[in-house]
Amino acid sequence: MAAAVTEWFRANRRELPWREVDRRTGRRDPYRSLVSEFMLQQTQVSRVIERFGRFIERFPDVGALAAANEEDVLAAWAGLGYYRRARLLHAAAREIVARFGGRVPEDVEDLRTLPGVGRYTAGAMASMVFGRAEPLVDGNVVRVVLRVEGWEGAADDRGAVGAVWARAEELVRASESPGEFNEGLMEVGATVCGPGAARCGECPLARMCVARRLGVQGSIPRAKKAAVRRRVVHWCALVRDGRGRVLLERAPAGALWAGLWRLPTWEGSRVTGAELGARLGVGALEFAGEVKRQLSHRTVRLRLFRGTSGVRAVTGRKWVRVTDLERVGVSNAHLAAIALAMTAGGSDGKTD
Ligand code: SF4
């Protein structure tokens, strides 16, 4: 199995910016790989491709990232969502400088001491960058291994996932090229053995796949229990001045998108446009629409009100040019809210 996956991966791998091999060292750059692993944890490859180059340009090495302030890191992360990862990556860079002399550690146990680096990321770095025979398991690997072995279980079933880790370890230990095998197994799951349709005719594992032989690909893994999401409503005010600027505030610690800039926001019980205006010291605001976002554990509705004002920004708030919004670090949800409130109003229902 390991040989089939490795051979297939060599012929079918997608060219991605973080897969480039450094000619001097003959391997991937550990810092770039670490950044890409953090970005890819909960974000699609296509979106990471759009943001990765810009982030590396802004912070070209681990020292530059460690020395940066948090606001700049969050701004460079804007558009990727799940901002906790940006903070953890920042903290990891500081630890690498403080404890490892600025070199990303090669050993799995050392890697796992870094903030935000769990078993998967440590295995990915150790195998794909440093060539060590360490396993990794992500959602793609769980699906492929369960199907190839014909094992039942849901993708979030601890017993099933534990069995997949054990199998992944056996396989990577038997592989001649641990990094290519691990990455190949994930790539099979990402491009051939998808969660919806399995394209068995193109799969390097077809000959040994139990699920294919039994015709049960569609029912492995078993469906997960639906996540219960809490519903929250945020009341947001878009206030503009006459100079193409909008009033923003910093989301406080513990709030959604903490540390990023957002429209002045209140959470909780219903607020009218007149009340929002009074809280900001401006006239009554008019309703402008709603933006809805599905996050991992909650559904957030941003109820938008808008108006214009000549007020000065008070402490904790500032005026920002509309053209600078992406640069200062505003969440995708609030960027969408601003765009909506500045146009005709209405609603969207995208997932962030
Ligand atoms: S043969 Fe089909 S079900 Fe089995 S691993 Fe390949 S794509 Fe998935």
121 in contact with ligand 1, CB cutoff 6 A: no
Q: Are residues 308 and 238 in the same domain?
A: yes
144 in contact with ligand 1, CB cutoff 6 A: yes
What pLDDT was estimated at residue 349?
41
**Does position 33 have pLDDT exceeding 50, yes or no?**
yes
The verdict on residue 303 lying in a domain is: yes
The verdict on residue 205 lying in a domain is: yes
Question: Which residue type is seen at 113?
Answer: T
Q: Are residues 257 and 184 in the same domain?
A: no
Burial class (CB in 10 A: 0-12, 13-18, 19+), 351: exposed
Tens-digit pLDDT profile for residues 140-162: 999 999 999 999 888 888 899 99
Alpha carbon distance 150, 153 (integer Å):
10
User: Residue 43 corresponds to which tokens in the numbers above?
Assistant: 């974000």
The verdict on residue 23 lying in a domain is: no
Concatenate the DSSP letters of all residues of 194-243 into one string. Answer: -SS-B-GGG-TTGGG-HHHHHT-GGGSSBPPPPPP-EEEEEEEEEEE-TT
**Does position 347 have pLDDT exceeding 50, yes or no?**
no
Alpha carbon distance 330, 318 (integer Å):
13
Q: Give the mutation target among 146, 147, 202 for probing the ligand 1 site: most ligand atoms within 8 A of CB.
A: 147
Closest to 178 in 3D by CA, of 132, 213, 144, 140: 132
Q: Give the mutation target among 1, 149, 205 for probing the ligand 1 site: most ligand atoms within 8 A of CB.
A: 205
**Does position 138 have pLDDT exceeding 50, yes or no?**
yes
What pLDDT was estimated at residue 312?
66
Cα 192 to ligand 1 centre (Å): 7
pLDDT classification of 223: cutoffs 50, 70, 90: confident
The verdict on residue 80 lying in a domain is: yes
CA 47 to chain centroid? 9
Q: Are residues 215 and 234 in the same domain?
A: no
User: Where residue 167 sits, what CATH number does that domain have?
Assistant: 1.10.1670.10
Average pLDDT, stretch 314-324? 84
Q: Are residues 1 and 143 in the same domain?
A: yes
Q: Are residues 246 and 326 in the same domain?
A: yes
Q: 130, 163, 188 — which closes off a domain?
A: 130
Closest to 232 in 3D by CA, of 260, 249, 255: 255
Instruction: Examine the residue annotation and report whether 37 is marked as an active-site residue of this protein.
Output: yes
182 in contact with ligand 1, CB cutoff 6 A: no
pLDDT classification of 86: cutoffs 50, 70, 90: very high
Q: Are residues 247 and 339 in the same domain?
A: yes
Q: Are residues 165 and 222 in the same domain?
A: yes
What pLDDT was estimated at residue 174?
93
Cα 200 to ligand 1 centre (Å): 5
142 in contact with ligand 1, CB cutoff 6 A: no
**Does position 346 have pLDDT exceeding 60, yes or no?**
no
Please provide the average confidence, as pLDDT, over all residues in the chain: 90
Q: Are residues 113 and 252 in the same domain?
A: no
User: Where residue 85 sits, what CATH number does that domain have?
Assistant: 1.10.340.30
pLDDT classification of 344: cutoffs 50, 70, 90: low
Tens-digit pLDDT profile for residues 170-203: 999 999 999 999 999 999 999 999 998 899 999 9
pLDDT classification of 41: cutoffs 50, 70, 90: confident
217 in contact with ligand 1, CB cutoff 6 A: yes
The verdict on residue 100 lying in a domain is: yes
Range picked from 193-207, 226-240, 290-304 for highest mean pLDDT: 193-207
Burial class (CB in 10 A: 0-12, 13-18, 19+), 326: exposed
Q: Are residues 57 and 45 in the same domain?
A: yes
Domain that holds residue 37: 28-130
Q: Count how many domains the chain has.
A: 3
CA 100 to chain centroid? 26
Q: Are residues 204 and 334 in the same domain?
A: no
Alpha carbon distance 238, 304 (integer Å):
7
Q: Are residues 337 and 238 in the same domain?
A: yes
Q: Give the mutation target among 146, 192, 207 for probing the ligand 1 site: most ligand atoms within 8 A of CB.
A: 192
Percent with pLDDT over 90 in the chain: 61
**Does position 351 have pLDDT exceeding 70, yes or no?**
no
Q: How many residues does the chain have?
A: 352
Please tell me the residue having the least CA distance from ligand 1 atom 1. 206
Strands 346-348 and 286-294: parallel
User: Residue 16 corresponds to which tokens in the numbers above?
Assistant: 């991605």
Q: Are residues 178 and 149 in the same domain?
A: yes
Q: What pTM value is reported for the model? A: 0.75
Please tell me the residue having the least CA distance from ligand 1 atom 4. 209
Q: 130, 149, 177 — which closes off a domain?
A: 130
Tens-digit pLDDT profile for residues 89-126: 999 999 999 999 999 999 999 999 999 999 999 999 99
Q: 174, 200, 226 — which closes off a domain?
A: 226
Cα 150 to ligand 1 centre (Å): 10
Of 37, 134, 183, 290, the catalytic one is 37
Cα 198 to ligand 1 centre (Å): 6
Please tell me the residue having the least CA distance from ligand 1 atom 8. 193
**Does position 129 have pLDDT exceeding 90, yes or no?**
yes
The verdict on residue 81 lying in a domain is: yes
